[in-house]
Structure formats: C-alpha cells, structure tokens
Amino acid sequence: MTASIDRAAQLARLREERTWDLVVIGGGATGLGVALDAAARGFAVALVEAEDFAKGTSSRATKLVHGGVRYLAQGNVSLVREALHERATLLANAPHLAQPLAFVLPAYRWWEPAFYGIGLKLYDALAGRRGLGATQLLSKAKALARLPTLRQPRLAGGVRYWDGQFDDARLAVTIARTAVAQGAVVLNHCPATGLLREDGKIRGVMARDAETGETFTLRSHAVVNAAGVWVDAVRDMDREPGAAARPPMVAPSQGVHVVVDRAFLPGSDALIVPKTADGRVLFAVPWLGKTLLGTTDAPRSDLPREPMATEEEIGFILAEAGRYLARAPRREDVLSVWAGLRPLVKPSDEDGGTTKKISREHTVLVGRSGLVTVTGGKWTTYRAMAEDVMARCFDAGLLPRRGGADATSALRLAGAPERAAGTLDLPPGEHLYGTDAATLRALPGAGRWLWRDESGGRTGGLSEAMLRFAVRHEMARTVEDLLARRSRLLFLDAARAGALARPVAALLAEELGRPVPEAEIRAFEALARRYRGLPPSNELKAA
C-alpha cells in the first residue's frame, strides 16, 4: 500500500484539541529525521515547514552519501566511522533513492596513486563489512577507461574507490511519507509564527497554514527547532520580553553547483579532485542523466530563501573542472546553476542553557526555556542526528525514554523493497518510486510525457502520472514543488523547466480543483531564468 500524505487529513489532525509529545519546526533533512525517529518510538509528533519539504539547504546538496574522506586527513576517525555506518544504513533502507557510486581520483604526479591509495584503503578498513567495494590503484589506461573524458597530458593513473549517491529532495519527501505512516503529522507551507511560553518554559508552537490563513496552537511537551540556517530566527522567538538578542549559532556559507550535459562525463563513475585552487574538494558527478559540478564555499551574512550563485563562483567551478576534463565546460554549457546555504555552527551558551556538540558536523542545544535547537550536519548522518536530538530530549526530562537507543536503523523508507528483494528492476524514472511504481502506472497520464530524457540517463522524463502522484501522495502544492523537488527538472535543465511551467500549472489546477494563480506561474518562470544564470526580463520584473 502506498504511503501518502493527505493535506486535508493532516490539517484535521492539527485542529484536534490535544497536547503533542513533540512539535518540530523545519521540514529539511534534520527535522524530518527527528519526526520519523520520534514517531517510530510511539510519540505523538507534529512537524510544520514554512515552505516545502527540503526547500532550503536539503534540496541543494552534492547528492553524495559519503563518509567524508577529507576528515581522515584531519584525524577525525570517529566521525568518518559514524558517517560510513550511516551511509550503509541509508543505502539499505532506501535502495530506490540511494545507490553505490564509484569515484576516480586522477593522478598527475607519480606519487599520488600510492599517497591517496593508502588513505582510501584506510577508508575501506573503517567501513569494514559495510564497505561498498575495494579501493583500486589504476594505471593511466584504466583511469581513462573509467573516465574517458579526463585530460590526458601528464596523467599518471588514478585511484578508484566507492561511496554513494542519492536524490536529496525526493529522499526528504519519502522520509515525510514514512513519518506519516508511523503516525506523525507533517505539513508543508505552514510556517511557525511563534512559540507558546508558560512560566518561562516553551510549551508549544503557533503556526499558520499559508494556503488558507488558518492558525493553529500546537501545545506540546517538547519543541525542536530544526530550521537549518534559519534556526536563529526561531531562537529569537524564544526571547523574554525586553531581553537582548542572543549571539547567532549559525555562520552561513554558500555552496554553488553547476549542471552541464552528460557528454562531459559520459561514464558511470564520478570524478573527485582532492584539492582545488582554494583548497576544497571538487566533484564531477553523473546525476540523473546530467553532470553535476561543485562545490564552492563562501561566507554569507544574509539568509535569502533563494540564494543565487555569483558569476565568480560559476566561473571558478567551470575553470577547476576544465583543469581535469579534456573538454572544458564553458558558461554557455551550463544547463542549471543553484546555490545552497550551509549552517556552519558557532555553538554558544549565551542563553543560559547547555550546549552539547555531538560532533564537528552538528550541534544540539537545549536552552533554559527547554527549546531544543539542532543545526549543522549533513544528509548522510540525518538519522544519527535525529537520535542525538531524541537523546537530548530524554536527558533534559522533556520526554520519557522510549524505544531504546535506536528506533530507525532497520526501518525501510516508503517505496523501499524488502531487504531480500534487493533493488527493483524498474525503467528509468520509475526506479525512484520503488514499490510505489505500480501505483504510479495506474494513474491517468502514465504514458503521456511532458518531457522525455533523451540522454540515456536515469530520469526517464516527466509524465502526467508523476505529477498526479506528487499531488495525491507527496503533498505537492505549487508549480515549484513539482518541478524543483518532486521532479528535479529545475535543477537539471532550467530552460526546460521554465517552458513547462504553464502545462504543469494546468495539471496542478486539475488535481487541486482550483486555478493556479498567474503570479505563481510567472514567479516560477522567473526562477527558472535565474537558475539558467540569466537576468530577469522587464516583463518578469513587472510581474
């Protein structure tokens, strides 16, 4: 049976006169992970998201499920071991959305294969029985066999190792559906507008449905602030009247990704550059029939809902990729470019509470009022982060201990086949639906395509049935929800996404039983232009 999120049913449950065990603010990777973990333990959980699930940072990752090779050089073995454990867990629990991926590190100096090979052999050892494949040293010929578009002059060989890849936004929606199946209530397009305070303690959340304007007061024993880079805005809601603002927990950093044609990296392996001109790691990754290049790391002082890449950042990625690819990608080759804000943590106990830095990746803070704030981290360890949050709720006396230390490591996500079945042999596009593919094929428009992927990649395309599935089962409410996150077309080919705004809006209107506002359509068309790196037209400015 297909796990579905019915918006009317979710709203009806929010209207109930009750006290929730836990209310989560934020529907990204961390918040959804907390909601799922708590629901799996039998707690009464509600989650509210201001916009759409994974609208922010959680849909803008490099799409990698990884242990973090770079942390080995820093000596942080425990962090790598945890991430490798979580990598295996995610690949096992969502094989329709996350799969192993081989990476080739090209060597242009004679000593590099042995140097990097030793570190990657240690990476294999830390993974142990959960490893995905053995690291191999490659000759020049074998490196070119794996990555035929590598730049050949001075190429000495390479190293091939294994990590994983996934679809971040679709994983977020799948976690939301799984949480609902476990009894949680989750609602997108429903911002938290305030915190309920009684006797100096947080006792709930006020929220407003953005579609209808209906307001809710959600009383609860515990509140988790999982708003990503916007956690400080929620913490400001927790201020006593007249109290000074707290120092921020988050110092945001912008990461940019560029998408080009599959021809730049036609094989099934990814390319990793261990050190760019600015000291970062650069990836060129085959993703859904295209090639994904990234990423940058630049501090930002503002927190826009839709951050945009600068020409300098785009140029940097293209130039660095061009140092390793025989055919250097140019600005006119860019199909889509997007930016995400990473929540780099600056933990503080200025609010009089206690701070527990679980790892270098994420931080959990319980304030004096009892507000639990979690930020930082990465997609690979979202499940472990959720366990840490629940442990802090137990330690602080906000919730009774329940479910042991681990409630979700063996919990299959919606659409995942049974473990004995392994992965399902499904056509491109349908593989993302797993066991729900039969439900998809039964919907009207299964054979009517708005777009077909002719690249030979795994997207398959976008059918009317896929859009109907997104509205009926995945709570898609806007054109952007459909073309950016239920389908990833905006991230793969922004021009095609913009061209489909109106036919998609027509189908969305049919499913919702109401017209889609012209302003929404024009706003998405403008967004698609920005993802192409184009300035808005005068017409779109006027809109």
CATH number of the domain enclosing 505: 1.10.8.870
Q: Residue 410 falls within a domain, yes or no?
A: no
Asked if the bond preceding 295 is cis, omega within 30° of 0, the reply is yes
**Cα four-point dihedral sign 428, 432, 438, 442:** negative
Q: Residue 179 falls within a domain, yes or no?
A: yes
Backbone angle region of 216, left / alpha / beta, with phi > 0 → left and psi within -120 to 50 → alpha: beta
* Buried b / exposed e along 521-535 (16+ C-beta atoms within 10 A): bbbbbbbbbbbbbee
Q: Are residues 245 and 354 located together in one domain of the fold?
A: yes
Question: Is a pLDDT exceeding 60 seen at residue 536?
Answer: no
Q: How confident is the model at residue 542 (pLDDT cuts 50, 70, 90)?
A: very low
The whole-number pLDDT of residue 453 equals 82
Q: Are residues 258 and 323 located together in one domain of the fold?
A: yes
Q: Are residues 441 and 529 located together in one domain of the fold?
A: yes
The whole-number pLDDT of residue 244 equals 80
Mind listing the pLDDT tens digit for each residue in 153-193? 999 999 999 999 999 999 999 999 999 999 999 999 999 99
Q: Are residues 354 and 205 located together in one domain of the fold?
A: yes
Domain count, the chain: 3
Mind listing the pLDDT tens digit for each residue in 316-371? 999 999 999 999 999 999 999 999 999 988 756 545 454 444 345 789 999 999 99
Q: Are 192 and 52 spatial neighbours (Cβ–Cβ below 8 Å)? A: no
Question: Is a pLDDT exceeding 60 seen at residue 411?
Answer: yes
Domain that holds residue 211: 7-57+170-249+346-395
The whole-number pLDDT of residue 355 equals 41
Q: Are 296 and 280 spatial neighbours (Cβ–Cβ below 8 Å)? A: yes
Q: Residue 136 falls within a domain, yes or no?
A: yes
Amino acid at 484: A
Residues 6+ apart with CB under 8 A from 299: 251, 252, 253, 254
Q: What is the mean pLDDT of residues 231-248?
A: 88
Helices (H) and strands (E) in the chain, counts: 18, 21
Is the whole-model pTM more than 0.85?
Answer: yes
Q: Residue 44 falls within a domain, yes or no?
A: yes
Q: Are residues 433 and 520 located together in one domain of the fold?
A: yes
Q: What is the mean pLDDT of residues 217-240?
A: 96
Domain end call among 312, 342, 372: 342
Q: Residue 111 falls within a domain, yes or no?
A: yes
CATH number of the domain enclosing 379: 3.50.50.60
- How is residue 302 annotated by DSSP? S
Mind listing the pLDDT tens digit for each residue in 437-489? 999 999 999 999 999 887 666 677 999 999 999 999 999 999 999 999 999 99
Q: Are residues 239 and 183 located together in one domain of the fold?
A: yes
The whole-number pLDDT of residue 421 equals 58
Q: How confident is the model at residue 429 (pLDDT cuts 50, 70, 90)?
A: confident
Q: Residue 93 falls within a domain, yes or no?
A: no
CATH number of the domain enclosing 308: 3.30.9.10
Mind listing the pLDDT tens digit for each residue in 11-24? 999 999 999 999 99
Q: Residue 76 falls within a domain, yes or no?
A: no
Q: Are residues 266 and 217 located together in one domain of the fold?
A: no
Q: How confident is the model at residue 2 (pLDDT cuts 50, 70, 90)?
A: confident
Q: Are residues 145 and 134 located together in one domain of the fold?
A: yes
The whole-number pLDDT of residue 68 equals 86
Q: Residue 103 falls within a domain, yes or no?
A: yes
Task: List the alpha helices (DSSP H) in 63-204.
Answer: 69-73, 77-93, 112-127, 140-146, 168-181
Domain end call among 327, 342, 357: 342
Domain end call among 342, 366, 384: 342
Q: Are 96 and 373 spatial neighbours (Cβ–Cβ below 8 Å)? A: no
Q: Are residues 311 and 201 located together in one domain of the fold?
A: no
